[in-house]
Amino acid sequence: MRLLGDEDPKILAVAWDNLEKIGEPALPLLEEAVRVSEDNRVRVQSGRFLREWSRREVFRRWVHFCRRGRFDLEEGALLVAQSEYPDMDALRYRRMLDGFAGALRGKLATTRTTDDAVRRISALLFGEAGFQGNTADYYNPDNSYLNRVLELRKGIPISLATVYLLVARRTMVPIEGVNMPQHFLLKYRSSTGDVFVDVFHGGKLLSVRDCARFLSEARIPFQEELLRSVPDREVLTRMLGNLLRIYLNADDKRRYDRIAAMLKLLD
């Protein structure tokens, strides 16, 4: 453990590898080192080791989640968040979602159509709660972690759509995810046909023609298949795919490898 304070990266790597082989018996000593070691490098590296160990535990839970074969969006999104923030309290964020749903129930009691219900959900999330697309820092990985999106009220289409879906499900409003290329959307059935919700732009409502125009501008040939509803597994796959590209571009090999392993298990 004292070697965690060595400035030679090769010695540090050997110390780290041996602590990994020792495993759980080393954890109480590392926790003590974080609190009382006189060497600041030992304190920092001990804390880092403990966080990585916690992330391994999250990864084991992810393995179980994928092998079980029942891909629940809420459980999966919270596990993705814990893969980066292993000490986060998942119950806290479930309660935040419960709170949004609780605030909506009275407002939805008088709605007669899904159109009205969707408008009220959008008014709450994008008006009162202040959720918005993070245009200033789009590629920040925190935009993809549910806990940070709920805390900061900022995200990208896939994460904002996840918040919307989880609130809508709590209030029994029928709305689904649409894995449109370059811009994840939500979709519901109105009396006149399918209506799409652009959560990145404050819940703006779109028609099929609007979506086709967006795809055309992106030079993507329109196909009805691109606007189909997708199951939770595909939502999680896109969420992880976004993180994979972010960490690849940032040359963050450790996080890239972790997300790649999670994505492989999901696929």
Residues 132 and 20 in one domain: no
CA quadruple 147, 153, 157, 162: dihedral, nearest 10: 50
Per-residue model confidence (pLDDT) at position 85? 95
Does one domain contain both 111 and 213? yes
Final residue belonging to a domain, choices 68, 96, 118: 68
- Same domain? 62 vs 162: no
Q: 43-99: per-residue pLDDT in tens?
A: 999 998 998 888 889 999 999 999 998 999 999 999 999 999 998 999 999 999 999
29, 154: one domain: no
Q: Largest Cα–Cα distance in the chain?
A: 69
Q: Tell me the per-residue pLDDT of 203-250, one tens digit each, with 9 for 90 and over.
A: 999 999 999 999 999 999 999 899 999 999 999 999 999 999 999 999
Task: Among 19, 35, 68, identify where a domain stops.
Answer: 68
Is pLDDT at 199 greater than 90 in this prediction?
yes
Under 8 Å between Cβ of 4 and 45? yes
Torsions phi, psi of 42, nearest 5? -65, -40
Q: List CB contacts of 201: < 8 A, sequence separation 6 or more.
A: 133
**Does one domain contain both 31 and 98?**
no
Give me the half-sphere count of Cα atoms (radius 13 Å) on the Cβ side of residue 124: 21
Name beta bridge partners: 195.
188
- Residue 261: pLDDT band (50, 70, 90) is very high
List of residues 6+ apart from 22 with CB closer than 8 A: none
Digit-coded pLDDT (tens) for 124-161: 999 999 999 999 999 999 999 999 999 999 999 999 99
pLDDT tens digit string along 18-35? 998 998 899 999 999 999
The reply to whether 80 and 41 lie within a common domain is no
How many domains does the chain divide into?
A: 2
Q: Which domain holds residue 191?
A: 73-266
45, 68, 91 - which closes a domain: 68
| Burial label, 221 (beta-carbon count in 10 A; 0-12, 13-18, 19+) | exposed
* pTM higher than the cut 0.85: yes
Same domain, 222 and 255: yes
Same domain, 26 and 132: no
Query: What's the CA gap between 238 and 240, in Å, rounded?
Result: 5
Same domain as 83, residue 34:
no
> For residue 192, is pLDDT > 90?
no
**Per-residue pLDDT at 95:** 97
Q: What is the pLDDT of residues 94-125, one digit of tens each?
A: 999 999 999 998 888 888 899 999 999 999 99
- Tell me, yes or no, whether 92 and 111 share the same domain: yes
The reply to whether 64 and 95 lie within a common domain is no
88 and 145, same domain (yes or no)? yes
